[in-house]
Chain A
Amino acid sequence: MDQSLLLVKIAGETAALDSARIQSVVELEGLTPVPCSPSHVAGLAALRSRAMTVVDCRRSLELPDAEDGEADGEGALAVVVELDEFLYALLVDQVEEVVPLEDEPALLRTELLPGWARATLGMVETSAGPALLLDPAQLVAGPGDVLGHAVEKAMA
């Protein structure tokens, strides 16, 4: 298998996303906030004629918001994924590099922070060191989706 991973930085940690699921990496221009939306949804942005739902990965992983100086909101980098025919832009702090996937993700036996634990598919070893492989669907679902979390756990 020629699988590769995109390494990103979220709140100082390196995380990996399956590059096969990624459509592109974009710099967000213009964000339309959507009132009353879940806290991890930053709003809507346009990718050509399609609207993307912008997901703040920090919020989704239940991590503190970025401090001044770190990338956030407008001009921020986002990884675009498509789930069930909807486009989502996952806001990350930095995009590092694309590396080949060397091994299947391994389950971590340690307890992680709840946000990370919910969104991860396991740990992967890469040429740039170990990283958590993230599930875009869980990032989109956000912390509110307790049921999805439970199902995931039961299946593991």
Chain B
Amino acid sequence: MDDLLADFIAEARDMMEALSGEIVAWENDPGDKERLDAIFRFVHTVKGNCGFFDFPQLEKLSHAAEDSLADCRAGRRQADQALVTAVLAVIDRIAEMVDAIGEGGELPASDDDALIAALAEGAETARPQETAAAAPSSKTARQTATPRTIRLPVDLLDRVMSGVSDMAVARNDLARRLAQSNGETGLEAPFNRLSAILVDLSEAITRIRMQRIDTLFAGFPRLVRDLSHELGKQVMVEVESGDVEIDREMIEVVRDPMVHIIRNAIDHGIEPPAERLAAGKREIGSLTITARQTGSEIRIGIVDDGKGIDGDKLVAKAISAKLITAEEARALTPRERNMLICLPGLSTAKEVTAVSGRGVGMDVVRANIEKIGGSLVIDSTPGSGTRMMLNIPLTLSIVPSLTIGVAHHTFALPRSYVEEIVRSAGEEMDKNWMGGRKFITLRGQRIPCVGLEEVLGLESSCPDDARLYVLIKLVGGDVFGLAVDAIHNHEELVVKPIAPVLMACGLYVGTTQLDDGSPVPMLDIAGVARAAGMISEVKDRTIRTGAGETRVEEKDLRPALLFVGFDGRERAIEMDDVRRIEKLPRSAVRHATGDTAQIVIDGRIVPLLGLSGELPDRELAMFRLGDGAGEVAFAYERMIDLVEFDPLSITKAKRSGERLALVGGRPVELLDASALEARAPVTEGA
């Protein structure tokens, strides 16, 4: 019986989650039979189960909703705004009851008769102010066929996962012992096979933990609908999940920040209909929520076409609140100005509203995203809208990391924070002491530095010249240098939570294990920055030297590689797109007709682009772009230089669709890596 009940609750919750988008869509188009059917099926199922389990209250409610919906289905009644609102209220109430049942508690006592009465034809709607606002619409992808799934307890998954990690550690141990025996043991071949299986297995396990991001997005159309009704605004929401999958733990972490940003967008961003008309915009505001996966990151964009962020007002406010000085304000780039809304206690809203409150929130949003190793970027054009980009790592548990050494200790830190690594002995680096704090000057920027050993209370015996500075970029653009003795490795580490007694130090976020099985603490970069006095205030922004204009350039430029292709043309490729540069022998290439070719890299066949004409009889140099199944290689003739370009200068050539960027004052074609990846001939499958 208990099992049956648990199944009922799980089923009801699943259906409700899938349903919230449907209802909003149905409201927009009450004539949509398919959606009506979906909602009808839900109340019908609930009703059927209630009879079985004896929940008379729940049965009464679902029965009433079923009746009204059946009338609509039969054409006896026209679905209208009032009915939708009433059905929504009933479904909310059912959700409450299901939760109560799930927790084994009493059903919340309340008057359901009003809800039932509201379902009746011609009834006054329970919340009359809602009828004033018009219907939002939704273009959520219709979920018709649900994939076959089974339900698994998460702790079972975790056990399987930790079993696989155990196996990996045992494998590494075995590898070490095999290496020690240095002779023919006859075990190498089976050992290699075991390793390969293990790699496959751990990949599969990671995938198991992934869930389609739709699960996260499904509730948003409903949220937007409710909020816009409450605020008397009209918002059309478009959700595009791009088939992105996300770690199920991550879903919970990202939900709150997203809800907050959406609230802000509707409350402060999108204007009331009259104001929009006056500004020459469509009466109905638009909110777009998208997700994209790029490499090891997921980018979630929340874009509205509201009034945007008034950067000047924001700056004025920050100055009057003494959060920044007028001089610092002048040095801010537009993005940095927008990031000011993430300062605690700063809000540009004239009135405090119940929906998004005042100033509280964006700082928390930023902190939460930062905590999981993600970042927040805000672009806004006053008068035409705001775009919030959340960049979050793919999973919580596997973090691309840097392992570093200081004073004979080893630590890991998330690579997402690392801007670059500079050697202390580097020529163009200038070191100064000011007010007891060390600063290094790099390309015109003075960057405050701290030795990791100082923060951790250790003694480093490493000579100053041999040290390395890891430049850490905190969310919001603050940069500081962390001096360490050595960089050990770049690796993907499985990070597990750290015991509360150690978490309390505020310097660590988790523990991880190196290949030899030894545990290593993962540093909490925000915590280290705080302990080092780098983040306590807004003041920690890098102090810029030199004239204003050089600074702006430095800030916005993106690195790219300038090269000559085999067709003799000069192009540039954005540094971020290149995973690595490889030189491979001519024999690894299979050259077919035209420009299709493949190359063997690390035992895999990867599409090779960029070839034309005769192949030179020497090693081929190539960029490796993308990863996993989408990997492609792009061969080039010779490298010219490492250059920088202004991303704002990118223009599209009208006829050819080429993207051109200004490099050193002249236009250069910019290779579009994502287009190449998409265009690459498929090499999957047998």
A: which residues have CB within 8 A of B? Answer: 30, 32-38, 41, 44-46, 48-53, 55, 84, 86, 88, 140-142
Contact = CB atoms under 8 A, between A and B. Distances in A.
B502 interface: yes
Interface in B197-245: none
Contact of A50 (B162, B457, B521): B162
A35 B409 contact: yes
Nearest to B166: A49
Interface stretch (B18-26, B368-376, B503-511): B503-511
Interface string B158-183: 00001001101110000000000000
15 contacts: A34-B508, A36-B505, A36-B507, A37-B501, A41-B501, A46-B513, A46-B518, A49-B168, A50-B162, A50-B496, A51-B511, A51-B512, A55-B501, A88-B499, A141-B501
B29 to A, nearest CB: 48
A88 B500 CA distance: 11
Nearest to B508: A34
Interface string B534-573: 0000000000000000000000000000000000000000
A51 B456 contact: no
B458 A35 contact: yes
B162 A49 contact: yes
Contacts of A140: 499, 501
B165 A32 contact: no
Given A33-B409, A49-B168, A49-B513, A142 B501 contact: yes
B497 interface: yes
A35 B527 CA distance: 14
Contacts of A36: 456-457, 505, 507
B259 interface: no
> Lowest 6 A-B CB distances belong to which pairs?
A35-B456, A49-B165, A53-B499, A51-B511, A44-B519, A51-B519
Contacts of A46: 169, 513, 517-519
B520 interface: yes
Contacts of B496: 50-51
Contacts of B410: 32
Contacts, number: 73
Q: How large is the interface on B (under 10, 10 to 19, 20 to 34, 35 or more residues)?
A: 20 to 34
A140 B502 CA distance: 10
Contacts of B502: 34, 37, 41, 44, 53
A38 B78 CA distance: 68
A86 B500 CA distance: 9
Contacts of A51: 496, 498, 511-513, 519
Nearest to A36: B505
Contact of A48 (B166, B458, B500): B166
A65 B507 CA distance: 26
Given A34-B521, A46-B513, 13 more contacts: A32-B410, A32-B518, A35-B456, A35-B458, A36-B505, A38-B501, A46-B517, A49-B166, A50-B496, A51-B512, A51-B519, A140-B499, A142-B501
Nearest to A33: B409
A49 to B, nearest CB: 4
Given A34-B502, A86-B499, A48 B511 contact: no
A34 to B, nearest CB: 5
B478 to A, nearest CB: 22
Interface string B481-506: 00000000000000011111110110
A35 B169 contact: no
A48 B519 contact: no
Nearest to B163: A49
Given A49-B162, A50-B496, A51-B511, A32 B520 contact: yes
A148 to B, nearest CB: 11
A105 B507 CA distance: 39
Contacts of B520: 32, 44
A46 to B, nearest CB: 5
Nearest to B408: A33
A32 B521 contact: yes
Interface in B133-178: 162, 165-166, 168-170
Contacts of B512: 51
Interface in B558-606: none
Nearest to B504: A38
A50 B158 CA distance: 12
A86 B521 contact: no
Contacts of A84: 500
A84 B497 CA distance: 11
A37 B457 CA distance: 11
A55 B501 CA distance: 10
A124 B498 CA distance: 33
A24 to B, nearest CB: 15
Contacts of A33: 409
B511 A37 contact: no
A86 B499 CA distance: 6
Contacts of A35: 409, 456-458, 507
A144 to B, nearest CB: 9
Contacts of A88: 499
Please indicate which of the listed interface residues B162, B169, B501 has the most CB atoms of chain A within 10 Å of its own CB: B501
A44 B511 contact: yes
Contacts of A37: 501-502, 505
Contacts of A142: 501
Contacts of B168: 49
A112 to B, nearest CB: 23
A86 B409 CA distance: 23
Instruction: Tell me which of A30, A34, A55 has the highest count of chain B C-beta atoms within 10 A of its own C-beta.
Output: A34
A117 B500 CA distance: 23
A141 B496 CA distance: 20
A135 to B, nearest CB: 15
A37 B508 CA distance: 10
A53 B504 CA distance: 13
Nearest to A40: B501
Contacts of B409: 32-33, 35
Contacts of A38: 501, 504-505
A34 B521 CA distance: 7
B668 to A, nearest CB: 49
Contacts of A49: 162, 165-166, 168-169, 513, 517
Nearest to B452: A35
B512 to A, nearest CB: 8
A46 B512 CA distance: 10
B20 to A, nearest CB: 32
A32 B457 CA distance: 16
Contacts of A52: 519
B501 A44 contact: no
Nearest to B510: A51
A146 to B, nearest CB: 14
Contacts of B505: 34, 36-38
Nearest to A52: B519
Interface in B390-415: 409-410
Question: Max chain B CB contacts within 10 Å: which of A30, A41, A51?
Answer: A51
A34 B512 CA distance: 13
Contacts of B458: 35
Contacts of B508: 34
A53 B457 contact: no
Interface in B613-652: none
Contacts of B169: 46, 48-49
